[in-house]
Amino acid sequence: MENNKIDQNVLDRAQLWLDGDYDTETKSKIREMIENSPAELIDAFYKDLEFGTGGLRGVMGAGTNRMNKYTVGAATQGLANYMKKMFADREGLSVAIAFDSRNNNTFFAGICADVLSANGIKVFVFDDIRPTPELSFAIRHLKCQAGIVITASHNPPEYNGFKAYWEDGGQLIAPHDKNVIGEVNKIKDIDQINFNRESGLVESIGEEIDKAYLENIAALSLSPEIVKKHKDLKIVYTPIHGTGVKLVPAGLKAFGFKNIYNVPEQDIADGNFPTVKSPNPEEPAALNMAINKAKEINANIVMATDPDADRVGIAVRNNKNEFVLLNGNQTATLLINYLIKKWKENGKLTGNEYIVKTIVTSEILKDIALKNGVDYFDTLTGFKFIAEVLRLNEGKKTFIGGGEESYGYLVGDFVRDKDAVISCCMIAETAAWAAEQGKTLYELLPDIYVEFGFYKERLQSIVRKGKTGAEEIAQMMVDYRKNPPAKINNSEVVVIKDYQGQIEKNLVDKTKRTINLPKSNVLQFFLADGSKISVRPSGTEPKIKFYFSVKDELKNKSEYDTLNAKLEKRLDSIISDMGL
């Protein structure tokens, strides 16, 4: 394919790398793309990797829109430059670094350590793979000013990522995220990146942090006596080739659970994730091996964590003794309901407690909190915003727990990110609490729905890859804003929330209200029948996400199956009416 069929801007950006002081292998790959793979060249160079809800994340390879030595080096140099400005009055700056089981994990972690130490910053690097939430804990424990974890969470094997954290243990948020990118953008030449490691400033960490982290987790238990009675609960756990193998079983044992069964084939840390199509606990197939193991040994519950162990998916036995998967909203409902009820029962509620959820997460969490005198906060999607609420309320209010529909939860405030190690332990304790009542986790859900209403949610994603895909997704959002639906599934749209314009419009009384959250490319439509539809382009993947929520009254547990089927049909109708 001739060069003139490739956008000149892309060619110019690629030429800068060919002319610059980049390694021979990188230049060879760029030339090959120019000659033989123009579409790949365009995707590799049409933009720079940006910090989204999950930080820097992309396909590994040569190019400005790829994860490689130079983009990671530039991001690290930008972070180092920003730290020096922000902490100019402090001596002995330090950063903690962790990495998961992805390909090139130690390579990228090493690049980060090279650049930071070359800039005179002390670096604490974990000696092996560790869960992302432990990195958050380590920042606070070691009193670092920042942290980095090399992970692409549940993305396919060709991806990796660079997730940056600030001194509170939370991911970078405004203005720090934009300011770091500003510093990165100032780097016009790779000679501005110092790759010359200062070995005396790089220290390996591991076991001591593990011990402190697990001690903090064990202290979260609200029902130690109940766990003691039900310590033989059978739990099957899989890390899906990721970091959870290091600490989830240890955490469960620290809580007092004795029967923990692993899936040996998936205990192996492998960035190719050979036993699954996707290492995403949201995908049913990712739990297949664990569920088969659970059937084999007659287990009570199945847990699966993603490669960096910040999210967990679970399977429980239904009334027919079959394993069924719970979605993120259902697990969050069980967890928040348990936490608040136990806090109340244990006399810990003072009226100054709160939970946090994201705007696309089930509204039942808000209902549970308010009925029990617990405050709640809504945030934008991304756990960094939940961490911000914790930081702003530190010393003022007490955080009980929180979560988001995408299988991420947190209990306690010594970690400032979603934490699957903590979540696995607290979910197991919730299962023990249910067993004490002669119930399974599955049987607890109808009880909650009778009390608070039957909420049912569904997520649908549309994938559009590459530059043209990004443009198509952007146009979809423009169209929804220009021509919002008046009705969806024969129910009037009564409220529209536009988080980009930060305006909430009530279409019934014609009033407007300012949304006091940061600008974000999200739209929400609230219907007269209580349904909620949220539309949001992903910040980390080439897709646009549609979050659907419907609700009805469950008068009696015996009507659960009938109402469940009715709500499923309503979801189908809404999705069909929107042409998805």
User: Could you list the active site residues?
Assistant: 153
Token representation of residue 193: 């990146």
551 within 8 A of 570, measured Cβ to Cβ: no
For the chain, the first-to-last Cα distance in angstroms comes to 36
CA-wise closest residue to 441 among 253, 230, 266, 240: 230
CA–CA gap between residue 164 and residue 86 (Å, rounded)? 15
Strand partners, 497: 504, 524
The separation between CA 39 and the C-alpha centre of its own chain, rounded to angstroms, equals 30
The residue assigned the tokens 């180092």 is: 80
Contact between 137 and 209 under an 8 Å Cβ cutoff? The reply is: yes
The answer to whether the CB of 307 falls within 8 A of the CB of 160 is no
Look at the block and give the residue holding tokens 């670094």: 97
CB-count exposure of residue 443 (10 Å: 0-12, 13-18, 19+): middle
Q: Which of 233, 265, 264, 238 is nearest to 249 (CA)?
A: 238
- 8 A C-beta contact, residue 201 and residue 120: yes
| Number of neighbours of residue 523 by Cβ within 10 angstroms | 19
- The alpha carbon torsion through 361, 362, 363, 367 (nearest 10 deg) reads -120
Residue with tokens 């962790």: 98
Alpha-carbon distance of 78 to 50, in angstroms, equals 13
